[in-house]
Amino acid sequence: MRVYPALRIRLADPAPSRVGELLAILDDFQVTAVDDSDDDVRVFFTRESERDAAVERLRAEADLTVTIEDVPDDDWAARSQAGIAPITVGALTIAPPWAADTARATNSGPTIVIQPSMGFGTGHHPSTRLCLRLLQQSRLTGLSVLDIGTGSGVLAIAAATLGAARVVGVDLDPDALTNAHENLELNGLTGRVELIERDLSAPAGDLEAGDIVLANLTGGLLCRDAATLAALVAPGGTLIASGFQTHELDEVAAAFETAGLRRAAQIQEESWIGVTFRT
């Protein structure tokens, strides 16, 4: 069983803006997932060495306390089963396996089944919902879609469900990709969506540009990799970005505009932002 190196962080003031600042600080330490569903913020890392380096960095922050944890994957799954219910975003309903039949019976649109895991992406985070909303505003039939930082694969699965002709999900975390493969099977999409293990900071190499590029990443990663992401958008194409908060909007938008994209639309949920950029 996989055990994930994690930190439990308690902030003196857990305001969304402060949580966003904290996640920006941790961008450089290969954070693979964040659980901010309760009073504390639980941050998961790819390796123990990255977690240990993050602890050293956080010593400079006076308004928080940090606890080191090692979290078995089944702990997350058990907690998820107790608290995750279907959620509807536009025409799509996202449901865990144990609630899929009920979701299909009570909703007229497509149901996407996602097994909760450390890959995250159950539709319950505002940034995922923002991407799903913006994705449904685009015509997908016959188009190609790249989902960068695919996690559970929920956005890639949504794109395929909505009629995209070619869908590729990219992630640097092999465990997230394992979960994404499982979710493809649950949705009968094995072979319809290609999954690639890749660090976006490495050369794009054989990644083919997409008509629509999805990037539900942190603000720091979006700024760092704006040029790489922009280069993956085909001429006349669209980039949908989320995973950042209102106080990061100007910096993220400026990074993509410098990379040659123009801001076309934006939506907000709580303090989270989703933006559509076009070539």
Distance CA 73, CA 3 (A): 6
Distance CA 259, CA 271 (A): 25
What count of other Cβ atoms lies within 10 Å of the Cβ of residue 134?
Answer: 23
Mean pLDDT of 74-92: 73
What confidence tens digit (pLDDT) does each residue in 215-238 have? 999 888 899 899 999 999 999 999
What confidence tens digit (pLDDT) does each residue in 86-108 have? 999 999 999 989 899 999 999 99
What confidence tens digit (pLDDT) does each residue in 59-71 have? 999 999 999 999 8
Does one domain contain both 104 and 35? Answer: no
Distance CA 147, CA 150 (A): 5
Looking at the predicted structure, is the pLDDT value of residue 80 above 60?
no
Closest CA to 112 of 77, 72, 159: 159
Final residue before a domain boundary, out of 58, 78, 98 = 78
What SS3 state is found at 42?
A: strand
Which residues form the domain of 32?
Answer: 3-78
Final residue before a domain boundary, out of 78, 102, 134 = 78
57 versus 19: the higher-pLDDT residue is 57
Q: What pLDDT does residue 245 have?
A: 85
What confidence tens digit (pLDDT) does each residue in 129-157 have? 999 999 999 999 999 999 999 999 999 99
114, 96 contact by CB (below 8 A): yes
Does one domain contain both 45 and 180? Answer: no
Q: What is the mean pLDDT of the chain?
A: 89
Final residue before a domain boundary, out of 78, 106, 127 = 78
